[in-house]
Amino acid sequence: MRKTIITAVLLPVLFSTAALADTLRLQDNAPDRYTVVKGDTLWGIAGRFLKDPWKWPQIWKMNRHEIRNPHRIYPGDVIVLDRNGPSLRLLSAAHPTVKLSPQVRSEPTDQSIPSISPADIGPFLSQPLVIEENGLDKAPRIVSAEENRMMLGAGNIAYASGIPGGSDTQWQIYRPGKALVDPDTKEVLGYEALYLGHAALVREGSPATIRITKSTEEIGIGDRLVAAPPVSFPAYVPHAPDSQIHGRIIAAQGGLSEFGQNAIVAINKGTRDHIEVGHVLALYRTGETVKAPDTPEGKVTLPNERYGLVFVFRTFDKVSYALVVQTSRAVKLLDMVQTP
């Protein structure tokens, strides 16, 4: 399919040229041009040019609309750096030199490069993750299994009640999880839905027969089924929030209390706090209070230490989920996230 270019009116940009010069820091070895290849991510390319990759919208001089509805970049495209500004422009693989910001291109979305790796967050784009209390109570449930098995995995046959005739053939399997509680206000922000795997409908009936096609952990009698929605990979640009965000990590994939890069974490801030997909937040560790005999109080509190970054890829009203994209130490529950 041939690419098409539609020229659009360029809206007022967010940042002045002077502000760009003051805030953008190029990598010491930033290339003059870079050819996009399959497997690239927007975050990775941003890191080739900028020491602060979340300032990607500034070097493209994007306006607010373009940040939320970014133009796609494809393998074979060439990104050219103009160091006087600085700014970037795009050499399309199929067209003459063009500026990225005022364009819309039509092409199958699965060919464009994603913001972050689908392998890291793909399974989390179609999962509920956060539900209301008792939100799975009315969902179909596994009531039995072949050979009276109590625990199931990929390849096993099970029987489920509550699946109506003529319904979906692909299902996700969940177990109600713990409450997500704000560590500061003690407000219940929602309840986790723990993803256990996928199942395919083999035969309708009461009960219906299903086959477990994927399992991330053991599946048991009583676990719930949710019709699997189509997976859509959202387009977004890495950028810092417009306002000061102060939040905490309240949960992590697998229930771990300490984790590293590429971990999926839940944050106690959501859309009601103006968090949006694409936001980049800095990770901080609270400074410890240590003995200091030479001070009047006999102790001193060390400053908070910044040690990494997270990339928000899914939001709910009171909670959001992010990928740890950079860290110099182990990330822990209750560590802080702030506007970088």
Whether 232 is covered by a domain: the verdict is no
List all residues 6 or more positions away from 205 whose beta carbon is below 8 Å from its beta carbon: none
Residues 168 and 108 grouped into a single domain: no
d(CA 309, CA 339): 10
Q: Please give the Cα distance from 108 to 29 (Å, whole number).
A: 33
Task: Note whether 8 and 57 are within 8 A (CB).
Answer: no
Is the same domain home to 85 and 134?
Answer: no
Answer yes or no: do 201 and 267 share one domain.
no
What torsion do the CA atoms of 229, 112, 282, 182 make, to the nearest 10 degrees? Answer: -10
Indicate whether 45 pLDDT > 70.
yes
| Among candidate residues 195, 227, 259, the one where a domain is terminated | 227
- Same domain membership, residue 330 and residue 250: yes
CATH number of 268's domain? 2.40.10
Whether residue 236 lies inside any domain: the answer is no
CB 181 within 8 A of CB 133: no
Q: Are both 174 and 253 inside the same structural domain? A: no
113 with 214, same domain: the answer is no
Under 8 Å between Cβ of 130 and 176: no
284, part of any domain: yes
Is residue 301's pLDDT more than 90? no
Is the CB of residue 251 less than 8 Å from the CB of residue 299?
no
The pLDDT of residue 233 is above 50 = yes
In order of 5, 40, 95, 151, 315, the CA distances from 2 in angstroms are 10, 21, 10, 50, 34
Residue 207 tokens read as 């009960």
Is pLDDT above 60 for 21?
Answer: no
State the first-to-last Cα distance of the chain, in angstroms, to the nearest integer.
Answer: 40
| Residue 307 placed within a domain | yes
Residues in the chain, how many?
A: 340
Among 117, 152, 175, the domain boundary falls at 117
Q: Per the domain annotation, does 186 fall within a domain? A: yes
What per-residue confidence (pLDDT) applies to 229?
Answer: 79
pTM of the model: 0.79
Q: How many domains does the chain have?
A: 3
Among 75, 91, 117, the domain-final residue is 117
Question: pLDDT averaged over the chain?
Answer: 84
Q: What percent of the chain has pLDDT over 90?
A: 55
Assess whether 103 and 196 both reside in one domain.
no
**240 inside domain:** no
For residues 113 and 10, membership in a common domain is answered with yes
DSSP reduced 3-state for 253: helix
Asked if omega into 96 is within 30° of 0 (cis), the reply is no
Q: How many helices (H) and strands (E) does the chain have?
A: 5, 25
Instruction: Summarize pLDDT for 128-173 with one digit per residue, the tens.
Output: 678 888 889 999 999 999 888 889 999 999 999 999 888 778 999 9
Q: Are residues 134 and 107 in the same domain?
A: no
Position 279 pLDDT exceeds 90 = yes
Q: Give the model confidence (pLDDT) of 78-118 as tens digits.
A: 999 999 889 998 887 654 444 444 333 333 445 788 888 88
Residue 185 falls within a domain, yes or no? yes
Tokens for 153? 């995995």
Residue 199 sits at the vertex; the CA angle it makes with 196 and 205, to the nearest 5 degrees, is 130
Residue 235 included in any domain: no
Rounded CA-CA distance 193/185 in Å is 22
Preceding omega of 108 cis (within 30 degrees of 0): no
Q: Are residues 49 and 147 in the same domain?
A: no
Peptide bond into 296 cis (omega under 30): no
Domain carrying residue 108: 4-117
Same domain membership, residue 135 and residue 89 = no
Residues 135 and 111 in one domain: no
